[in-house]
Structure 1
Amino acid sequence: MFGGTFDPVHLGHLRSAVELHEALALDRVHMVPACLPPLRDRPQVSPQERLGLLKLGIGDTPGLVADGRELERDGPSYTVDTLASLRDEYGREARLIMALGHDAFLRLADWHEPQRLFELAHLVVIDRPDHEAPLSPTLAELIAGREVDRPELLMRRAAGGLLRLALPTRMALSATAIRQRLAQGRSVRYLLPEAVERRIEAASLYRHS
């Protein structure tokens, strides 16, 4: 599972998903747009529109799935509920992975039921080489004894581990900066998939900051 607001989905998101799929030899990567992210501002466009852009961005990319299950639930988009839904779908023995960026990882202790995340899945933190911050005591306690240093060690169990992973292509793209460019009428060429750019242009999305 690779969640986010995808507001809008950009090439950094998609390339990270492809590299996660390869690096961990995953069957598939569910890219899950949050409906109402609890710890972030409300996204600028509707959840349905963001899911539509995600589907356009993924196109026919093998192994990537645009998953709208968080749009079907009322209230905040708690990751633990999404993982529970995936666990029900795939069964107790399946190896479930939740991938998240380093910034989100640093706030993990503030998430809803953070301990239960590890009961449902492994966590893979996409490392940022330019971002070294000390862990809070609560976060350090939460991940104590869970970290492994190789994907094969993670895959020995169905859930409960933590792996930090540096992806080969580090695309430092920011959805915030892309939204600003769109609001200012500036070019976003080569930051977004062409189909996503065409849809945003046709529907005049993100034109007001």
Structure 2
Amino acid sequence: MTLPEAGPLGVFGGTFDPIHYGHLRLAETAREALGLTRVRLIPAGQPPHRATPGAAGAHRLAMARLAAASNPAFEVDPAEVEAAQASYTILSLERLRAELGPRRPLVLLLGVDAFLGLPTWRRWTELFDFAHLAVANRPGYSLGGAAMPAALAEQVSRRQATPDTLGAAPAGRLVQFAMTPLAISATDIRARCAAGQSLRYLLPPPVVDYISRHQLYL
């Protein structure tokens, strides 16, 4: 007996330095708006496009697990943190495709800023071979009003689809979804830590406790 294929899996990578309610709200909004069965959070080990994270990979992985623990639709993937090489999205998608098989729909979740920078990513056009891409728009800032490189605009024009089509193919489509942004940033959280200010209501309480216990970002 052949078991049916599972539904679309959201893939949400990031430095998560630290993970906060803005990250979690984006993941939950995407899950609902796009009909995802689960969302896999992937903390970056050595992000190639950013400065060295403020907390070691093991700490960021632990905080992601604490943040995701209360949502049964969230799971945390340790592979990038545990890898010895830089964290490139295309490598993670190749790994997930090998793990989950050729037919499971994968949906890579991105903010508008990250999507517009896609041409600087390694093997960026190949991302569509392994996953759908879903872009989170926020009020006043969406792909519709954004200037973008010609190569990226061509991909948008060719691949745009609606969320209800994501389950019909394993990869290759581009969708957009709306979210209300939370005015929370990891940069601000790290600055508050350094200044000895409260982090309450910016991150899940277990993450706040973890940061305090391990004296991170001081």
Name the TM tier (shorter chain).
Answer: over 0.9
1:107-118 aligned at under 5 Å gives the runs: 107-118=117-128
CA deviation after TM superposition for structure 1 residue 181, in Å: 0.9
TM-score if structure 1 supplies the norm length? 0.93
Alignment of 1:30-109 (within 5 A): 30-109=40-119
Rounded Cα–Cα distance in structure 1 between residues aligned with 2:211 and 2:69: 16
CA drift of 1:190 comes to: 0.2
Q: Secondary structure at the match of 1:155?
A: helix
For structure 1, which runs of at least 5 residues remain unmatched after alignment? none
Distance in 1, Cα, partners of 2:21 & 2:121: 27
Amino acid paired to 1:156: A
In structure 1, the partner of 2:151 is 138
Q: Distance in 2 between matches of 1:118 and 1:172?
A: 30
- Deviates most, 2-11 or 34-43: 34-43
Name the structure 2 match of 1:155. Answer: 167
By how many angstroms is 1:199 displaced?
Answer: 0.8
Q: TM-score, normalised on structure 2?
A: 0.90
CA distance in 2, matches of 1:174, 1:195: 18
Distance 1:108 1:128 in 2: 18
How many angstroms apart in 1 are the aligned matches of 2:75 and 2:184? 21
**Counterpart in the other structure of 2:213:** 202
Q: Does structure 1 retain, via aligned residues, the 8 Å contact 2:67–2:204?
A: yes
How far 1:137 moved relative to its partner?
A: 1.9
- Contact 1:188/1:197 (CA < 8 Å) preserved in 2? yes
* C-alpha distance after superposition, 1:20-46 (max 9, x if no partner): 122222121110000111111111110
Identity percentage of aligned residues: 43
**CA displacement 1:139-196 (0-9 Å, x = unmatched):** 2134340111x211233211001011102x4213111111111111111110010000
Q: Tell me which amino acid in the other structure corresponds to 1:158.
A: P
For 2:111, the aligned partner's letter is G
C-alpha root-mean-square deviation of aligned residues, in Å?
Answer: 1.3
SS at match of 1:119: helix
Query: Secondary structure in 2 aligned to 1:126?
Result: strand
Work out whether residues 35 and 163 of structure 2, in 8 Å CA contact, stay in contact via their aligned partners in 1: no
Match of 2:32 in 1: 22
Cα distance between partner residues in 1 of 2:196 and 2:213: 13
Question: What is the DSSP-based 3-state SS (H/G/I as helix, E as strand, rest coil) of the residue aligned with 2:42?
Answer: strand
Match of 2:198 among 165, 174, 187: 187
Structure 2 residue identity aligned to 1:196 = V
Count, aligned residues: 205
Q: Distance in 1 between matches of 2:125 and 2:54?
A: 31
Q: Which residue of 2 aligns with 1:122?
A: 132
